[in-house]
Amino acid sequence: MAFPYIFESNFEQGTNAEWDSESDTGSLLDFPHYAALAKDPAAPIPYRGAYCMRIDLSGGDTNDHTLTEGDIDITDAGTAYFRWYMWVSNNFTATADDVFSILELQQGGGTVEQTVGMRITASSNLLEIGVGDGTAPSSYWPFPRGQWVCVELLSTISTGGSGAMTLFLDGTQVIALTSLTQAAAVGQGVLGTQLTLATTTGKIYFDEFAMDDARVFPLGDRFPATVPVTKSGHVFVGPGVVDGAAITSTTSGNTMVLYDTDTAETTIQGVDIATMTYGSISGVSGPLVFKRGCYVSLGGTNPRGTVYLTQSSEKHGIFGPVYRSSGAIRQYAQKRKAKLQHER
């Protein structure tokens, strides 16, 4: 397994900067902050951290709303493993049967070799996810609305008839295709909605996307007490306590900085609480108190680290770990918004 992953996107920059390019006619794709999502009781809180990716098809739309990445490449006879979390809104519906793509594995020139897509049946409102060789899925499995689901794909590319696609939902295998034949190697991956009908409406959210050369697997606890970090981002939002943090990579010059902020370390709110540099300071011990949330910034070559958080059962009061559930994050965002309005 490559570590960090061959490609990883947690959307914590709040932009498309982690990807090579974006195609979004009509500007229906964005990267909302948890405070914006907290205003909508029907919206999820990001699976982890403070940001996720959202595609809003509420008005119906036939355009592409996608991100493209060239690091998502698979050689002929090669295998890659994907994992991402996805939430489909409860009001996602259609008045005509529709099949559309959410992940395409393409040649460098754009020819589609394998597809993960969705199908919605108008008469029953049944929503399904599927995989297939080429531009459309050939096999489907029911997909739930209104909850985060971990989607995993095992993809083998073969021009010799031994291609494969295996789909997992929340760690359980649901579809397996074998003996597939592709025309060429994969040179890029495209994440997002393509080929939707204007009669299909609703919202889709994505978070914690990763590709690697070994199975990535679902994340452990959604709000764990020990957080491995392979990419800069929020380990929690809202008040909380860090018991300790350490760089676990061993490359000279690697850095890990903890900030007290719920936006990003470059904003005016950013306060440097703890800085670690491999070869100088490899770890810090707590308790470190964060009033707005803990943002971890990694630097250097393939950096990684670990942050140890106070267990919810062990800390109470004003600095208690209110970041331990989606409801707590939503409540914190609403309180923070009210406080800022009062201060104005």
pLDDT in tens, 185-197: 999 999 999 999 9
Domain assignment of residue 134, given as a range: 7-212
Three-class DSSP labels, 221-242 = CCCCCEEEECCCEEEEECCEEE
Eight-state DSSP code of residue 44:
P
Same domain, 80 and 206: yes
Counted domains in the chain: 2
Of residues 335 and 136, more confidently modeled: 136
Please give the pLDDT value at position 65. 98
Residue 50 backbone dihedrals phi, psi, to 5 degrees: -110, -10
Tell me, what CATH number does 104's domain have? 2.60.120.200
Distance in angstroms (rounded) separating the CA atoms of residues 329 and 263: 14
Q: How many CB atoms lie within 10 A of CB 16?
A: 18
Q: What average pLDDT does this structure show over 16-20?
A: 97
Residue 274, pLDDT > 80, answer no
Residue 313 has pLDDT above 50, yes or no: no
Which among 174, 173, 202, 206 is positioned nearest to 191, based on CA atoms? Answer: 206
Q: What percent of the chain has pLDDT over 70?
A: 90
Same domain, 39 and 89: yes
Residue 224 has pLDDT above 60, yes or no: yes
Mean of pLDDT over the chain: 90
Same domain, 236 and 200: no
**Residue 286 pLDDT > 80, yes or no?**
no
- Together in a domain, 201 and 242: no
The residue type found at 344 is R
